Structure 1
Amino acid sequence: MHRQLLSHLAHRDHPIAAPITAAALERLLRRARLPADARVLDLGCGEAEWIIRALELHPKATVDGVDVSEAALAAAAEHAAARGVSDRLRLHHTTAADFTGPEPYDLVLCVGATHAFGGLTGSLQAMRRHLRPAGRALVGEGFWETTPSPETLALLDAGLDEYADLAGTVERAEHAGYATVHAHTSTRAEWDEYEWSWTGSLTDWALDHPGSDGDAALAAARDHRATWLRGYRDVLGFVTFLLRPV
């Protein structure tokens, strides 16, 4: 199965697509203190839960969502229609790096999608190109809660420099030319809810679809669960920064 379809199926019961609760997501959006007629951009929007909630909080705002997954964008359009915000949402099927907007934005998001720009620093550099001078960036990134073992790094197919610790991650953001005005550090409970949902949703779908696709989905769910439980649980953290360019 294509990786994008696997991700879409795994997130069907957790459209936030990050180890964050709906309440924490809303607090971050409110702390952005957007103007009434805000323009918002999400680079790697998935099913667009973040920007749909932004539209609900700001009835005069308009948003652009960018993603490479057709399945996720189709789901985003359905969610937006069901919640009555379709007229203020524009969805773009393209890579985050290739997107260009006609005007700068008050808020630019990239949560759990920094790989699209080669990591946190590259993402923040790209986000700045879309921001108004007084705009905000909302970016979600992993960090090392504890130093990973060689076995964990092998499971993640990652190097030690893939992430920093939390203090180092703050430094990376600020070295990219931003000031941290707020942040949410995901809890273990948020991580567990996200991972059980990811693996469980994919397993549930696989059992309902016997055959080659079901077998592939079930294998992916089991591999992911093993990597989490035997590898990065309590090792890899997740932080979502609210930043201002300086």
Structure 2
Amino acid sequence: MDRQLISRLAHRDHPIAAPLSDGSVRRLLDRALRGGAARRVLDLGCGEAAWLLRALAAYPELTAVGVDLDARALTLAREGAERLGVARRIGLHHGDAAAWRTKEPFDAVLCVGSSHAFGGLSGTLEAVRPLLAEGGVAVVGEGYWEREPDALSLEIFGDALTDLRTTVERVEADGWTPVFAHTSSPAELDHYEWSWTGSLADWALDHPEDPDAPEALRVAKEHRDEWLGGYRRSFGFVTLVLRAS
């Protein structure tokens, strides 16, 4: 089953494709966009552009650009923009976010939960820096270990994650200063995982005739077992609002 299709189905009831509530997203956008003072925002790995659509609805002077490899997700993003009446203020581009270049820098650049596309957190920040206008803000979401992970968790996530303090120290060592952050609560993390696995399973049960249904059920169960049997006890997620030092 296509990985992009799995992601779209798993996130259909949680369009913010990260463990964040709507209230947390609003607060992060307000800080990043400085209460509407920002004029241009870019989302690298935007998916269905849930962050950008919320930003455009809240700030009528804002324009936005989103980049993603999933063409179907971008189609859904365009449809969402049309429904909200903000289609003229958003540009959506099909392509590799890691290769994105711009002639006109942005006041804010978002990359939440997509750092794998850049080889990790440091690679993400390196890619974001030349895209930002002077004094601009980066919003980057990244996993970390809330407590010592077990063997299964390390097998799932590899050795790239560390604890929150070390994560922030690495960001600072890369030349960035945190000006705000949100650490996802256990409730936000649980809601995200239950939604991810449940939405995928729900789709499979609603479409038993679809040849992808058995695979969707298998993936949902495997993901749920890995979460409940492994990283639920140790995984955390932080969304950092950063300025270049």
**TM-score under structure 2 normalisation?**
0.96
Determine the C-alpha separation between the residues in 2 that align with 1:239 and 1:36: 24
Candidates 190, 193, 212, aligned match of 1:192: 190
Amino acid at match of 2:169: E
Contact 1:36–1:59 (8 Å) recurs in 2:
no
Residue 179 (structure 1) aligns with: 177
Task: Determine the structure 2 residue equivalent to 1:23.
Answer: 23
Structure 2 residue runs of 5 or longer lacking an equivalent are none
Gaps of 5+ in 1: none
Question: 2:41 touches 2:109 (CA, 8 Å); kept in 1?
Answer: yes
Quote the Cα distance in structure 2 between the aligned partners of 1:174 and 1:191.
26
* 1:77 counterpart letter in structure 2: R
Deviation of 1:105 (Å): 0.3
Distance 2:121 2:58 in 1: 27
Q: Is the 8 A contact 2:150 2:231 kept in 1?
A: no
Q: Give CA deviations for 1:22-43 in whole Å, capped at 9, x if unaligned.
A: 1110001111216546110000
Asked whether the equivalents of residues 37 and 62 of structure 1 are also in contact (C-alpha less than 8 Å), the reply is: no
Deviation of 1:179 after TM superposition, in Å, equals: 0.3
Which residue type is aligned with residue 99 of structure 2? D
CA–CA distance in 1 between the matches of 2:143 and 2:17?
14
Quick check: 51-60 or 19-28, which moved more? 51-60
What residue number does 1:217 align with? 216
**What is the root-mean-square deviation of aligned Cα atoms in Å?**
1.2
Q: 1: distance between equivalents of 2:21 and 2:234? A: 20
What is the aligned-residue identity percentage? Answer: 55
Measured in 2, the distance between the counterparts of 1:34 and 1:121 equals 28
Q: 1:237 to 1:90 in 2, by over 3 A?
A: same
Q: Quote how far apart the aligned CAs of 1:151 are.
A: 2.7
Other-structure match for 1:74: 75
Q: Deviations over 1:104-146 (max 9, x none)?
A: 0000000000000000000001000100120000000000011
In structure 1, distance between residues paired with 2:196 and 2:38: 35
Residue pair 1:40, 1:105 contacting (<8 A) in 2 also: yes
CA distance in 1, matches of 2:35, 2:118: 25
| Contact in 2 for aligned 1:188/1:234 (Cα 8 Å) | no
Cα distance between partner residues in 1 of 2:239 and 2:120: 14
Alpha-carbon distance in structure 1 between the residues aligned to 2:201 and 2:152: 25
Which aligned pairs between 1:130-209 and structure 2 lie closer than 5 A? 130-154=131-155, 156=156, 158-160=157-159, 162-209=160-207
Q: Distance in 2 between matches of 1:95 and 1:7?
A: 17
What whole-Å deviation, never above 9, does each CA across 1:193-227 have from its counterpart, x for those lacking one?
A: 10111111100111122242001111111111111
